[in-house]
Structure formats: structure tokens, C-alpha cells
Amino acid sequence: MNWWQGKRVLITGASDGIGQSISWELDQREVEELVLVARDQRRLSETARRCSVATRIEPVDLSNMEQVRDLLERLHDTSIDVLINNAGSGIGGAFQSQDDDALLEMMHLNCDAVVLLSRELLPSMLEKREGGILFVGSMAGWAGGPGLCAYSATKGFVNRFAEGLRWELAGSGVRICLLAPGVTRTSFFRSAGIDEKDLRAGSLSSQQVARAAVYCIERDRAVVVPGLWNRMLLAVQGWVPRALVGLVSRRMFARVLAGQKRKN
């Protein structure tokens, strides 16, 4: 049986990268409708153009809570069966060099919008005892990333939030799942001001990560970390002393900081 059949799925960050690939992956699963959310209307239309199922485009800046509330208002009479909390951004470089407003915007997008959308769209899922929420956290959420500290912290929030909510809603019929990708080849790093080649080990394509995302919720997995290399890295992280994780993390991310200095 196809779990997705007849479901309306809202995907944030559907105009690019992992979210766009998830949209196209779900297009092949006979969903009822895809509600595509991001800021760039033109790129959302491109995502929709390649879909054969019904689509609805919602251009919204999710770092702006007023716009998030307006979106929820517009969706008032629309039942969303599955929410994919994917949109997110990062800011690379030394923490002291980062801009206050940009940091707050990132935190609103990566954390506040995720909480608000989940809270408001959950009741109808709980009432039907069906559906689910997929959180796109990150492996970065399990270790502080020098050069990406605040970003890693927002993803730590997402990772823990998903875990807690899954435990809280156990037995409710609503699936709460966490996808925690490692480095994925998307526009993410360019937008974060990071040279992608500074963080290349084990990187996956957005299509590979999207397939893992769909699998995660389809099979109701608590956590899926796409890629064998990433799963090995995570397993090792659990065994070794934390100080060693810090040392390796500093070495890995030293290149991010050095790359920033090269640019400045």
C-alpha cells in the first residue's frame, strides 16, 4: 500500500536543493497535492512545472513570523496531512564577524517557523490519527561546528525538538521523523558564504538525500542519517571522548574559517 496516496503535503524550502528534490520525489508517489513554500515565486513555479500532481505555490518569507501566520491563515480550510519542515539557512565564518540581524533571521527561519508551523498544523493530523511531520535537522546539530556555531545550535534545536515530539506523540498515529543530512551538494554553502570544497568529505546529492527523506517518513523511522560515511562518523562520535570530537570538528571547520579569511 502507498502511504502517500491521497495526502496533501506541505514542503518548506521547495524552490531549491533538498526541498525541491523531495517535491519531485513525492510527485512520483500519487500524493493529492503538494503545497510548495519558499520566498522565490519563480523558482517555486519551476518546481511545480516539473510535477504531474496538483501543486499550490505559497511564496512566503518564513523568517518573518507575520508572514508565517498569514500563510497559516490562508491554509485555515486546507487540511495538510504531512508537513516537511525543510527550509533552512546557515551563516558561516567567525561568530564575532556575523551580523546580528542575519543571525536572528536564521534563528527565526530554522527554529521559530518550524515550531509555529508544526504546532498549528498538528491538530488536524491528531484528529485524523494520521499523517506526519518530517524535520530536516542536520548532523551539525550533534556537534558544535566552529565557523558555523549558531547554525549548528539551530540544528541541535531541530534534532532535539523532533526527538521529544516523537516521544510525546507516540501512539497518536502521527509520525514524527528526523532527517539529519551531512554535507549535501546544494546552494546551501554558497548562501552561507562558505566555499563548498572546504567541506566536501562524504557529500551526497540532493536527490540521494530526498530519497532518504521520503523513506524516513514512509517507514516511520525516528532518525535517518543519509550516507554510510555519515552514519559511520556519527557512530564514532558516540564512542570517543567529547574533547576528541571537538578536536576533529576544529580541524574540519578550520577550513571554513580559513576560507572566510581568504575572502576578507
Kindly tell me which residue out of 9, 26, 38, 121 binds ligand NAP, with binding defined by CB under 6 A. 38
Full DSSP string of 170-228: TTSS-EEEEE---SEESSHHHHTT--GGGG-TT-EEHHHHHHHHHHHHHTT-SEE--SH
Q: How many residues bind ligand NAP (CB under 6 A)?
A: 28
Give ∠ CA 208-212-217 in degrees, rounded to 5. 155
N-terminal to C-terminal alpha carbon distance within the chain: 55
User: Which C-beta is closer to ligand NAP: that of 186 or that of 243?
Assistant: 186
Residue from 7, 11, 19, 125 in contact with ligand NAP (CB under 6 A): 19
Query: Any contact of residue 109 with ligand NAP (CB under 6 A)?
Result: yes
Q: Which stretch binds ligand NAP (CB under 6 A): 34-42, 69-77, 240-248, 253-261?
A: 34-42
Contacts of ligand NAP in 49-108 (CB under 6 A): 60-63, 86-89
**How far apart are CB 232 and ligand NAP at their closest, in Å?**
17
Nearer to ligand NAP, 125 or 158 (CB): 158
Dihedral Cα 62, 63, 66, 72, nearest 10 deg: 20
Pick the binder of ligand NAP from 122, 136, 217, 233 (CB under 6 A). Answer: 136
Site membership for ligand NAP, residue 18 (CB under 6 A): yes
- Cβ-based burial of 189 (10 A; exposed 0-12, middle 13-18, buried ≥19): buried
Which residue type is seen at 225?
V
Least distance from ligand NAP to the Cβ atom of residue 121, Å: 16
Name the strand (E) or helix (H) holding 252: helix 242-263
Q: Which residues bind ligand NAP (CB under 6 A)?
A: 13, 15-19, 38-40, 43, 60-63, 86-89, 109, 136, 138, 181, 183-184, 186-188, 191
